[in-house]
Amino acid sequence: MSDVFIIGVDMIKFGRFPDRTVPSLAAEAALMALDDAGLTINDMQALYCGNLGQASGMVGQRMLAEIGQTGIPVVNVANACATGATAFRDGWMSIKAGLYDLVLAVGVEQMGKGLLGGGGGVSPEGLIGSGTMPAMFAHIGNEHSRKYGTTFEQFAKVSVKNHHHSTLNPKSMYQVETPLEQVMGSEMISFPNTKLMCSVNVDGSAAAVLASETMVKRLGLMDRAVRIRASTMTSNPFEDRQMAMPDFSGATRLAAKVAYEAAGVGPEDINLIELHDCFATAELVHYENLGICAPGEAGWLIDEGVTALGGKVPVNVSGGLLSKGHPLGATGIANIYEVATHLRGAAGARQVEGARLGLTHVVGGGPGMGTACAIHILEKA
């Protein structure tokens, strides 16, 4: 089977665009990614479009009405916070299967104001009860504290780090430093997550052009292509009918194991990571789930700056969901844009020097819904 490469990728600056339509946001990112590849919609053989809030609205077809209706097959995808990553993975699979040589993957979302899961706009894992997700991720953090002694300050340092990273990213919704005292002193949402430790609802879109190895060579784009070394997706590794709760950690650990095996690498080989920091507590726990440290060592990693820009394994150099924002359907492809940009050496002031392997991670779900986790490992071609 052919290797699959990213040859065009981009995202709009995340923000709030109440006067825009979802298809117009999707179209903007799609045209940017096509321009990045030096191609047009006429070159694409299929479209995979991820969107959650208007899942029944055939967003992909409506986007094509704005940039060119060429008769290609369109697949519309909704899969909680893994929506964009799922659309991307479907495109990857179609090329792997030999169906196409060039496909377009788009993720888009338009959301209201407010905290994720707190009643403003669409909640982070679908239309679920107000306040559920903050409480769930507070529980995850408190359990980590109970087991390993992780402190409120260590969780807060995640937000300090990611907000600092965002000041170097012109496409981030927020680009503001938040000192530790400010993070810890902001409104408490669900202990230990304060308001500045929660991702926020924003509008956004991101897109990627995927190509077979044959097509990349034919187009002469191998020097700027990014190889997809692994694309994995998991759900809850077991079902507890009594609790009916999503197992974000179990799904992530399973996806990471499968991804590392598929790529033939280990966590020690990864140069940068964009992971699902929907809350500050989530980022620390996912350090361990992704294998970049042993259980109980996540607090030490944040204290020592290991996951900051300039550290051994920079995490969420984009600013993450905490600062860049979390438009549900767009997040998975936006994470891929960030890592691919570093592998191309084009990330500017936030560039992770010498980056050759990067990992992206998203995970979503909710009570009674289960879990969807997607991990991609990307490599400089």
Blockwise average pLDDT, block size 10, the chain, 381 residues? 94 96 98 98 98 92 98 97 98 98 98 52 35 87 97 98 98 97 97 95 97 98 97 83 71 97 98 98 98 98 98 98 97 98 98 98 89 97 90
Give CA–CA dist 284/251, Å, rounded: 16
Same domain, 281 and 139: yes
Give CA–CA dist 111/124, Å, rounded: 10
Same domain, 89 and 163: no
Domain containing 77 equals 4-112+203-228
172 Rama sector, left if φ>0, alpha if ψ -120 to 50, beta otherwise: beta
Same domain, 211 and 251: no
Same domain, 264 and 216: no
Give CA–CA dist 190/140, Å, rounded: 11
Which pLDDT does position 193 carry in this prediction? 97
Cis-peptide into 179, omega within 30 deg: no
In a domain? residue 23: yes
> What number of H helices and E strands is found in the chain?
12, 11
Which pLDDT does position 104 carry in this prediction? 99
In a domain? residue 81: yes
Report CA dihedral (215, 220, 223, 227) to the nearest 10 degrees: 0
In a domain? residue 8: yes
Same domain, 86 and 160: no
Which pLDDT does position 2 carry in this prediction? 82
Q: Are 166 and 174 in contact (CB under 8 A)?
A: yes
Same domain, 190 and 214: no
274 backbone dihedrals φ, ψ, rounded to 5°: -115, 110
Same domain, 318 and 253: yes
How many residues does this entry show for the chain? 381
Same domain, 38 and 163: no
In a domain? residue 224: yes
364 backbone dihedrals φ, ψ, rounded to 5°: -145, 170
Q: How many domains does the chain have?
A: 2
In a domain? residue 126: no
Which pLDDT does position 32 carry in this prediction? 98
Which pLDDT does position 246 carry in this prediction? 81
In a domain? residue 123: no
In a domain? residue 122: no
Residue closest to 171 by CA, chosen among 23, 373, 11: 11
Q: Which residues contact 14 (CB under 8 A, 6 or more apart)?
A: 171, 172, 173, 202, 203, 204, 324, 325, 327, 330, 334
Residues carrying an active site annotation = 81, 326
CATH number at residue 355: 3.40.47.10
Same domain, 309 and 244: yes
Give CA–CA dist 21/110, Å, rounded: 8
In a domain? residue 120: no
293 Rama sector, left if φ>0, alpha if ψ -120 to 50, beta otherwise: beta
Same domain, 37 and 149: no
Residue closest to 50 by CA, chosen among 332, 364, 361: 332
For residue 38, the surrounding DSSP H or E stretch is none
Final residue in a domain of this structure, among 213, 228, 243: 228
Which pLDDT does position 296 carry in this prediction? 97
Q: Are 363 and 232 in contact (CB under 8 A)?
A: no
Same domain, 171 and 74: no
Same domain, 108 and 171: no
